Structure 1
Amino acid sequence: MQTSLAPEFAETAKGKEAEAIIRKCVHCGFCNATCPTYQLLGDELDGPRGRIYLIKQLLEGEPANDQMTLHLDRCLTCRACETTCPSGVEYGKLLAIGRAALHTANQRSLVDQLRRIVVAKVVGNAKVFDLLLRFGRAMRPILPAALKSKVPAAAPISSTPSRATHRPAWPAPRHGRTMVALAGCVQGSLSPMTNLAAAVVLDKLGITLIEAAGAGCCGALDLHTTNENRAKKCAEALIDKWWPYLAQGVERFVMTASGCGVTIMAYPHLFQDEPDYLEKAKAISAKTVDLCEVIDNEMSNGMDQEIAPAFRVQDSSQKVAFHAPCTLQHGLLQRGQKISGTVEKILQRVGYSLCNVKDAHLCCGSAGTYSIFQPEISSQLRQAKLRALYNDNPDIVCTANVGCQVHLNMNGHTRVQHWVELLL
């Protein structure tokens, strides 16, 4: 696609990056075939190709306008289009540049700006969020239906049939191999069993899992609300907390939420213009892996016969529907980590029967803060995803990202959990 960027963008690093990405686009439209918002709304400007045109116009000097903001805001950033694109267009990076340019142009109303600041500060602060969540749950019975649906009900200790329902203790450090889990986000309040279950499972595999005290949000929420500067500050704080562990010989930083994993793995790009943190960002990113990669690797390294008795399910007739988060099947793929299907392989290996999920590549509508700022579209995508997940009458529904987990549970009639709980 031919470009002619405005002078204020043409000679900047972001402008040159955007121009290179735009020029890869050949207008084929394959991206629209896998874009959830285009499939739902049928508007060219609500598909990747149309949004690329809008970003191109903005970077070529056309004044920012409400139409640009509307259609770029409607993008889920699921990156299914990147997996589909035959030309290798890095749409996610281009979208971030376009949204940042709109942010600089100050197109948003004061109310919208305040909403985004409040959401990022509250959801990004684990202690504040936990306090407000506890209050919301206490008041839930008397809340109006519209507000009640937005307050997640308390999750049970375990909802997995045939598994122990007591809360296990976090295993004491006893192995020569140590890995670190992220503990600074809302997952601790919304899905408290996830990291604990990961620690118990990895302990059985000969790995000690620990959490870094005081570690905060990875910065994903600020990126979702188009505040790159605050995202960098969050990332810097996390890097500072994790950096000493590298010298101590920690083997990996294990992500139990794929959304956080994609963000941390992209730290080198976030800090490409920040020499003070770039090398550290590269080192942290290189050591970051998704939980399924660790478990699959351990199970595949000639240990199946030893591992099987520890994780084998009692009832192999149990059917599991797995929702693969966009960050797991599209986001990590762009890093060269072809791990789509890995969770499913692990679950089948320990004896579960997997359901076929139609249109598994489509987003559930969670998409970070998307469900807050685009509730109507988000709700429609959730209902479509739930129909697909429950079409084969599964006994268990699970996923690999806390955002998807909470979003799919919002209707109050489902119980979606993190897949690692199925290995307890």
Structure 2
Amino acid sequence: MQTQLADFIRNTADGEEADAILRKCVHCGFCTATCPTYQLLGDELDGPRGRIYLIKQMLEGGAVTRSTQLHLDRCLTCRSCETTCPSGVQYGRLVEIGRQQVEQTVPRPLRQQLLRRVLASVLPNGTVFAPAMRLGQLVRPFLPRRLRDKIPARQRLLEWPTKPAPAEGASEANPPAAARRMLLLAGCVQPAMLPNINIATARVLHALGIETLIEPEAGCCGAIRLHLGYRDEALDDIRRNVDAWWPHVEAGIEAIVINASGCGATVKEYGHLLRNDPAYAEKAQRITDLSRDIAEVLGGFEAELAGLARRRGVHTVAYHPPCTLQHGQQIRGVVEHLLASFGIEVRLPADSHLCCGSAGTYSVTQPSMSYTLRDRKVRNLEVLEPQMIVSANVGCIAHLQSGTSMPVAHWVELVEHLIYG
């Protein structure tokens, strides 16, 4: 695609990146076949190719309207188009640049401004979100259905594991080998919404002799504010995490484990997002290099985990692979293979490549589209007749659970159950 960027963005970091991405696009349209919003609406401007044209027009100095903003808002940023694209167009990065420019050009209606500001202020702030979630869970039975859908029932907490025991035969004269240690990103909403995901992760790693550490100074990965258009605040979130984790990195931490694939997709972009910050570029890239989805960590322990299993009560599951795992991080097949090593039959829905409609705050900002996608996904999962549904991202799990009576859990919670009973 030929481009001629306008003066306001030419020779800037965003301009150079957008120009390189735009020039890769060959207009083939393969992306429209796997775009959830194009499938629902049938509008070219609600598919990746159409949005790319809108962004190109905008960056070349064309008119930017409320309609432009609406079409970019409707994008789930699921990045299914990136998996489909034969030319390697990094659409996810391009749409963030486009959204940033729209936010600076087109004023939003006051109601939207307030909603987005509240989401960007409350969700990433655990000290505010956690008590609000606890209150919501107390009054959940009395809430309207749409609000109740956003509040998972309170979990009965698992027990956090103690430190792994020293190897047999260790003593002062024969000290144990250095314990394997990994950092876990606790996340901002997950500890309050579905805390057992983090505890189950630590318990499974403990069974393998790995100690799990959580750095209390780390917080939201930055994804929420980034996708809502608060880029500077998102970069501050990222810098805070880099600073919080850096002493552990210097101490030789083995990996930074992430069990929410939406967070993982963002943390693995830290190096890119801070590439132009001389004080943080190298550190951020090091964080990216150390980041591992829990599937990547446990994928190397299939035989050991299967040997630790005590219960075999679950034989069939339906698996919803989150977009941020299969498209954002390009991790496919690992979870299915790992669960199969326990003797579990893993069934994938016919539309396993498509988004469930959760997409971070999308279910709040675009509820109609989000719930249509959820209902379609739930039908395709339920028809598989599994004993339960598993996924790999807190947002997907809560969103799917609001649409079905079938139990929905993180797949690592299932692994923990199989090991500990």
TM value normalised by structure 1: 0.92
Gaps of 5+ in 2: 167-178, 417-421
Could you say what the CA RMSD is over the residues aligned between the two structures, in angstroms? 1.5
**Alignment partner of 2:288 out of 285, 288, 291:** 285
Cα gap change, 1:234 to 1:313, in 2 (>3 Å): same
Matches within 5 A, 1:112-123: 112-123=112-123
Cα gap change, 1:112 to 1:370, in 2 (>3 Å): same
The aligned counterpart of 1:360 is: 352
The aligned counterpart of 2:319 is: 322
The aligned counterpart of 1:142 is: 142
Whether the aligned pair in 1 keeps the contact of 2:150 and 2:399 (CA below 8 Å) is: no
The CA deviation at 1:247 is 1.4
Whether the aligned pair in 2 keeps the contact of 1:220 and 1:231 (CA below 8 Å) is: yes
The CA deviation at 1:128 is 1.0
CA distance in 1 between counterparts of 2:148 and 2:206 reads: 38
Whether the aligned pair in 1 keeps the contact of 2:69 and 2:106 (CA below 8 Å) is: no
The aligned counterpart of 1:162 is: none
The CA deviation at 1:295 is 0.6
Matched, 1:6 2:3: no
CA distance in 2 between counterparts of 1:392 and 1:268 reads: 40
The CA deviation at 1:412 is 5.8
Gaps of 5+ in 1: 158-166, 334-338
Matched, 1:96 2:89: no
The CA deviation at 1:355 is 1.7
The aligned counterpart of 1:197 is: 200
The CA deviation at 1:296 is 0.7
Matches within 5 A, 1:233-382: 233-299=236-302, 304=303, 306-311=304-309, 313-315=311-313, 318-333=315-330, 339-382=331-374
Matches within 5 A, 1:25-40: 25-40=25-40
Note the alpha carbon deviations across 1:324-354, whole angstroms, 9 max, x for none.
0001000012xxxxx2010010000011111
The CA deviation at 1:359 is 1.0
Matched, 1:86 2:70: no
Q: Where do 4+ consecutive residues of structure 1 move more than 4 Å?
A: none
Whether the aligned pair in 2 keeps the contact of 1:78 and 1:331 (CA below 8 Å) is: yes
Letter of the 2:144 counterpart: P
The aligned counterpart of 2:163 is: 172
The aligned counterpart of 2:209 is: 206
The CA deviation at 1:272 is 1.8
The CA deviation at 1:389 is 1.1
Note the alpha carbon deviations across 1:217-249, whole angstroms, 9 max, x for none.
110100121111000011111111100001111
The CA deviation at 1:271 is 0.7
Note the alpha carbon deviations across 1:141-199, whole angstroms, 9 max, x for none.
22233333333322455xxxxxxxxx333232546110010114111111111111111
Letter of the 2:261 counterpart: S
Matches within 5 A, 1:152-163: 152-155=152-155
Structure 2 counterpart SS, 1:10: coil
Structure 2 counterpart SS, 1:351: coil
Identity of aligned residues (%): 50
The CA deviation at 1:121 is 1.2
Whether the aligned pair in 1 keeps the contact of 2:160 and 2:202 (CA below 8 Å) is: no
The aligned counterpart of 1:226 is: 229
Cα gap change, 1:110 to 1:173, in 2 (>3 Å): farther
Note the alpha carbon deviations across 1:105-135, whole angstroms, 9 max, x for none.
1431233122111101111111211111111
Matched, 1:408 2:400: yes
Cα gap change, 1:142 to 1:298, in 2 (>3 Å): closer
Letter of the 2:88 counterpart: G
The CA deviation at 1:273 is 1.6
CA distance in 1 between counterparts of 2:140 and 2:195 reads: 20
CA distance in 1 between counterparts of 2:369 and 2:242 reads: 35
CA distance in 1 between counterparts of 2:151 and 2:239 reads: 31
Whether the aligned pair in 2 keeps the contact of 1:313 and 1:350 (CA below 8 Å) is: no
Note the alpha carbon deviations across 1:72-108, whole angstroms, 9 max, x for none.
0000000000000001111011101100111111431
Whether the aligned pair in 1 keeps the contact of 2:321 and 2:392 (CA below 8 Å) is: yes
CA distance in 1 between counterparts of 2:386 and 2:183 reads: 33
Letter of the 1:383 counterpart: D
CA distance in 2 between counterparts of 1:14 and 1:124 reads: 25
Letter of the 2:337 counterpart: K
Matches within 5 A, 1:379-394: 379-394=371-386
Structure 1 counterpart SS, 2:113: helix
CA distance in 2 between counterparts of 1:42 and 1:156 reads: 44
Structure 2 counterpart SS, 1:9: coil
CA distance in 1 between counterparts of 2:218 and 2:399 reads: 24
Whether the aligned pair in 1 keeps the contact of 2:136 and 2:151 (CA below 8 Å) is: yes
CA distance in 2 between counterparts of 1:17 and 1:203 reads: 42
Structure 1 counterpart SS, 2:279: helix
The CA deviation at 1:414 is 3.5
CA distance in 2 between counterparts of 1:271 and 1:379 reads: 34
The CA deviation at 1:3 is 1.3
Letter of the 2:238 counterpart: A
Whether the aligned pair in 2 keeps the contact of 1:365 and 1:382 (CA below 8 Å) is: yes
Structure 2 counterpart SS, 1:75: coil
